[in-house]
Amino acid sequence: MGIEQKAADMGVVTTNLEMAVNWGRTNAMWPLLFGLACCAIEMMSAQASNYDLSRFGMELNRPSPRQSDLMIVAGRVSRKMAPVVRHLYDQMTDPKWVIAMGDCASCGGVYNNYAIVQGVDEIVPVDVYVAGCPPRPEALIDGIMMLHEKVKREKVIGTEEQDKPIWVMRANLIQVSMPDEKS
């Protein structure tokens, strides 16, 4: 029996500061809505009761950058919109993370043309890329959980790994089976 368990029996929990801080950050991440196109529909259903993003402490999805620390860029960003995305990112308080949801936000997707920014990583640093056109809500939730894993590994002084993005590309995501209406 170690000292930690002994202390826990007495009602004292020992941990280190980084774990406590990262635990707090992952379990109350406030997303900034950035629905720009069809991916926003999947993002909305991820928040709705079927998939229930609130399980991860993401109760409040609102378009208010000052109170957010996670930006989900869902959809293609046009070049005229790009300064707005960067402006909102600059308004968010540190620490802040960005998820590029879908192919268009990750790399431009099918829109390889003059009007669309070829990947939102040209304007804001991206932590997690979620592939799909559009990605299913499970894929988005998977990306958010990947981000949680990443945040849990963060150090207060910062590591090299912290700046490296993650790509979420899982072809065989488990589909939630919906009850048949007839049966």
Partner 1 sequence: MILMDNATVRQHLPAAFPQIQTNEFRGTLRIMVPREQLLEVARFLRDTPELRYIFLENLCGVDYLGREPRFEVVYHLLSFEYQHRVCLKVGVPENDPTVPSLTAMWPTANWQEREAYDMFGIVFSGHPSLQRILMPEDWEGHPQRKDVPLGYEEVAFTFNQDQIYAQKHFAKE
Residues contributing to the site for partner 1 (CB under 8 A): 79-80, 86, 107-108, 112-116, 118, 121-125
Residue 18 C-beta: closest distance to partner 1, Å: 20
Alpha helices by DSSP H, the chain: 3-9, 17-27, 39-47, 82-91, 102-107, 137-152
Q: Say whether the peptide bond before residue 165 is cis (omega within 30 degrees of 0).
A: no
Burial tier of 136 (Cβ tally within 10 Å: 0-12, 13-18, 19+): middle
C-beta of residue 34 within 8 angstroms of C-beta of residue 71: yes
Residue 41 C-beta: closest distance to partner 1, Å: 24
Residues in the chain: 183
Residue 165 C-beta: closest distance to partner 1, Å: 10
Q: Is 117 or 141 the residue whose CB approaches partner 1 more closely?
A: 117
Q: Is 108 or 132 the residue whose CB approaches partner 1 more closely?
A: 108
Q: Is 44 or 107 the residue whose CB approaches partner 1 more closely?
A: 107
Q: Is 39 or 98 the residue whose CB approaches partner 1 more closely?
A: 98
Q: How far apart are CA 9 and CA 32, in angstroms?
A: 40
Residue 107 C-beta: closest distance to partner 1, Å: 7
